Amino acid sequence: MQTTTPISVAYNLSKILFRICEYLGILDEYYSLSEKYMKKTLDFDIGHYNSNINPYKILWVEPKQITKVTKRPFPPYAPNRTSWFGKVENGNWDTRDTTPLRSGYEFDYYKKRLKFQHGTESFEDTPIFESFRNHFKCGIPWEETEYYQFYCDYYNSSKAKNKLVMYDEIYQKIISEGYKTQNNINPDFFPRVRSHEIMIDIGRNGEFLFAGGRHRLAIAKILHLERIPVIVLVRHKLWAQRIQTLSEFNSKEDCLNFKNCNEQLLNHPDLENIFD
């Protein structure tokens, strides 16, 4: 049986080690060891279906594979992003048409954010993506986008413009340097550094559902990047059960003899290590 450690103890230890390793210049070693330690000592829902699934593993996927948005209550990562890693949830949150507000977030600000980030079925139909596409592909000034108007509801026009200009810098940096993981551009203690990546949920049939990281996903789609790093928050219970069924086989070859298994399914990024 897996030995579990209180999350607060593990996180506090990780913060201390991060500062030490940052000072010593050995953050790569820190991230590798922290990931192994957290996976081994903390209890995760997905671990009860397959112990080989790493809740902190970065999946490299094609941006075009992320088409729909998750319909879990908005914000889907509140109140603490790291608490969602490795979660398994049942229900119709991957198939329903509307996204409810999370309890305690029934304010106008979150209602407007819901509309901009998760108010449509398709990510590319959200006002945020349309604003980014209009600006970067069509050359429309930020001031003429819907996203600018959203910011102006909360900031003066100068601050709203400055916040959007920041995305111009990110866009150009990705063009010149490529898309990098947060370990490399925004070091933070583990596992919080993972919560800065693009976040997805996985639906009952294995489909990727956008959950967070809207600006970087929009840029990745506009630039037609081949692959980007993402982190999984919640897996649907039916998907987790499928993982459990497939992992009962000794190897990929044995699994392919099963009537409900095929090469395309086994090539799913989330199934990479189920036979280890």
Q: What is the DSSP string of 194-235?
A: GGGSEEEEE-TTS-EEEEE-HHHHHHHHHTT-S-EEEEEEEE
Beta bridge pairs of residue 198: 230
Greater confidence (161 vs 90) lies with 90
Integer angstrom CA distances of residue 72 from 95, 169, 238: 10, 31, 15
Mean of all residue pLDDT scores within the chain: 92
Print burial letters for 234-258: b (CB count within 10 Å at least 16), e (below 16).
Answer: bbbeebbebbeebbebeeeeebeee
Residue 2: is its pLDDT beyond 60? Answer: no
Cα torsion angle, 242, 247, 253, 255, sign: negative
- Cα–Cα distance between 150 and 164 in angstroms, integer? 11
Task: Tell me if 113 sits within 8 A of 93, measured CB to CB.
Answer: no
Residue 249's pLDDT is 86
**Residue 118: in which H helix or E strand, if any?**
helix 108-118
Residue 4's pLDDT is 63
DSSP-assigned letter for residue 250: S
- Cα–Cα distance between 134 and 143 in angstroms, integer? 11
- Cα–Cα distance between 151 and 212 in angstroms, integer? 18
Query: Residue range 121-135: average pLDDT?
Result: 95
**Residue 69: in which H helix or E strand, if any?**
strand 66-69
Confidence category of residue 250, pLDDT binned at 50, 70, 90: confident
- Cα–Cα distance between 126 and 197 in angstroms, integer? 20
Cis peptide before 269 (omega within 30 of 0): no
Residue 267: is its pLDDT beyond 70? Answer: yes
Backbone angles phi, psi at 91, to 5 degrees: 115, -175
- Say what the alpha-carbon torsion angle 118, 122, 127, 133 is, to the nearest 10 degrees: 140
Residue 1: is its pLDDT beyond 70? Answer: no
- For the chain, the domains span 1-43, 53-271
Least confident window among 31-40, 51-60, 202-211, 253-262? 253-262
Residue 259: is its pLDDT beyond 90? Answer: no
Residue 264: is its pLDDT beyond 90? Answer: no
Residue 125's pLDDT is 95
CA 59 to chain centre: 9
Confidence category of residue 52, pLDDT binned at 50, 70, 90: confident
Confidence category of residue 3, pLDDT binned at 50, 70, 90: low
pLDDT tens per residue, range 150-166: 999 888 888 888 989 99
- Cα–Cα distance between 229 and 182 in angstroms, integer? 9
> Which percentage of the chain shows pLDDT scores above 70?
98
- Cα–Cα distance between 63 and 260 in angstroms, integer? 27
Q: pTM of the predicted model, to two decimals?
A: 0.93
Greater confidence (180 vs 262) lies with 180
